[in-house]
Structure 1
């Protein structure tokens, strides 16, 4: 066989693939109402539908999509449950695109913790790395007004501790992370911090962590944050998060009394 032909012959003879090595997953059939959901989501993703926009009526959607009205109704209810739509009754009612919200993310994280899929260690590690990025960005971007607002929240932490009110302590803890995340000027960070923070704060909210130690740690953080010293601020906040986690582990089998 000529040299060139031999090379060509070698290159074109592919070895057969053992079918047992492949791992093809069966194709799942898509239910009609799910296809309707996808069409609506595509319109939102493309920007043709925006928060506050009203969808066509069920009849109009059914005609456009060539499906039954029951299918459209099921799709709309599913999107309402997902937090995408708001369904209202009455003459001026209908299906409206909702504003973005972190409530669904919060619920999903809470469910994962409740089901044991995510541990306190997992959440703490995620929270440390997330807040590390948040603090660094906030140190760079925070306005003087936001720094003053965060300092006021820290002072309210002491007031809540003095009032011995669990509800006030929880609110102050959530507000601290909300204002800190808002200072990044990044809505995605703000939503993620709110979702994870609310789950962790509620989870640790009845753990008896010494209020004075919490207040002092927050005060030390504010000294560094006001100086825009990101490294020192991150170190202080990380130490507090780890201390809260370790404290929760130590007293997890004891009666729970105070909020974090």
Structure 2
């Protein structure tokens, strides 16, 4: 099945709806669908391929496709209809940019994300090489628990506190203000996209993997877990803001 109403839809949709990275399957699926929408492969009111076809083309489960579609419907990009002529369709009117928001270029987004990768992946690896005090270990668990229990209004704040705690655990005082400054830039970007429940649940799992690896003294696992976490945020930011 092709995307209805788009010129040369098969060529365009095959180029965009390609297999995603399984480590961030949900986030990448959302990003690919948004890319397809924003590049005009879908016109307002056009239908997406069925879930089964999307799952095959993206190399993910149907549950992942379903969750991505549900999240984009809640964000106002897609509409799901039941019945004989049902399916998932691009909304007739896409969400408008938030009033008064300063636009971000692709360069701005890439710069913030690349710096984050350098700082936070390095911080996680370094923290895992240290012998942490009981207070430091307890602090990491506590910050992680705060994020898990945070309501939507508090989520960004508690998430930032956790990442700053990881930077502190790296044992380099000069690193903390650099991570803090970058988090301010990152949060300004994240505030422009919706909080997706599936992404929050996935982030919670990734946070736990990062903290467990740090406390186990495994820098490779800590770095890999943070790398995957950073990549998931990058996929959503590029999907919504590019």
With the length of structure 2 as denominator, give the TM-score of the two structures.
Answer: 0.52
Question: Aligned equivalents of 1:179 and 1:128: distance in 2?
Answer: 16
Match of 1:229 in 2: 218
User: What does the per-residue CA deviation read over 1:148-197, in whole Å, with 9 as the maximum and x for residues that have no partner?
Assistant: 1111111111111xx3x32x101111101111111122221011011112
Q: Which runs of 4+ in 1 moved over 4 A?
A: 113-118
Q: Secondary structure at the match of 1:187?
A: coil
Deviations 1:22-55 (Å, cap 9, x if unpaired)? xxxxxxxxxxxxxxxxxxxxxxxxxxxxxxxxxx
For 1:239, the equivalent position in structure 2 comes to 228
Aligned to 2:187: 201
Is the Cα contact below 8 Å between 1:204 and 1:248 reproduced in 2? yes
Residue 252 of structure 1: how far off its partner (Å): 3.1
Which of 110, 128, 131 is residue 117 of structure 2 equivalent to?
A: 128
In the alignment, what sits opposite 2:46? Answer: none
**Structure with max Cα Rg:** 1
Q: Is this contact kept in 2: 1:170–1:202, CA < 8 A?
A: no
Partner SS, residue 119 of structure 1 = helix
| Residues 173 and 201, structure 1, Cα contact 8 Å, conserved in 2 | no
Question: CA distance change for structure 1 residues 248 and 115 in 2, over 3 Å: closer, same or farther?
Answer: closer
Report if the CA contact (8 A) 2:125-2:223 is conserved: yes
Tell me how far apart the structure 2 counterparts of residues 138 and 250 of structure 1 sit (CA, whole Å). 31
* Cα deviation, residue 132, structure 1: 2.4
Q: Distance in 1 between matches of 2:201 and 2:104?
A: 33
Match of 1:220 in 2: 209
Unaligned runs of 5+ in 2: 1-101
Please state whether the residue corresponding to 2:174 is helix, strand or coil: helix
Give the conservation status (yes or no) of the 8 Å contact 2:189–2:237. Answer: no
Deviations 1:90-143 (A, max 9, x none): xxxxxxxxxxxxxxxxxxxxxxx9675942122211211122221222122332
How far residue 204 of structure 1 moved from its aligned partner, in angstroms, is: 0.9
Verify the 8 A CA contact 2:129 2:218 in the aligned structure 1.
no
Aligned residues: 137
Larger RCO, structure (CA 8 Å, separation 6 or more): 2
Q: Within 5 Å, which residues of 2 pair with 1:1-260?
A: 116=105, 118-141=107-130, 142-160=132-150, 163=151, 165-166=152-153, 168-207=154-193, 208-209=195-196, 210-252=199-241
Deviations 1:228-248 (A, max 9, x none): 111111101111111111112
Cα pair distance change 1:175/1:117, threshold 3 Å: same
**For 1:177-228, what per-residue CA distance to the aligned partner results, in whole angstroms no more than 9, with x for missing partners?**
1111111222210110111122102321352342111111111212211101
Residue 94 of structure 2: aligned partner: none
| Contact 1:146-1:183 at 8 Å conserved across structures | yes
TM (normalized to structure 1)?
0.48
Cα pair distance change 1:115/1:201, threshold 3 Å: closer
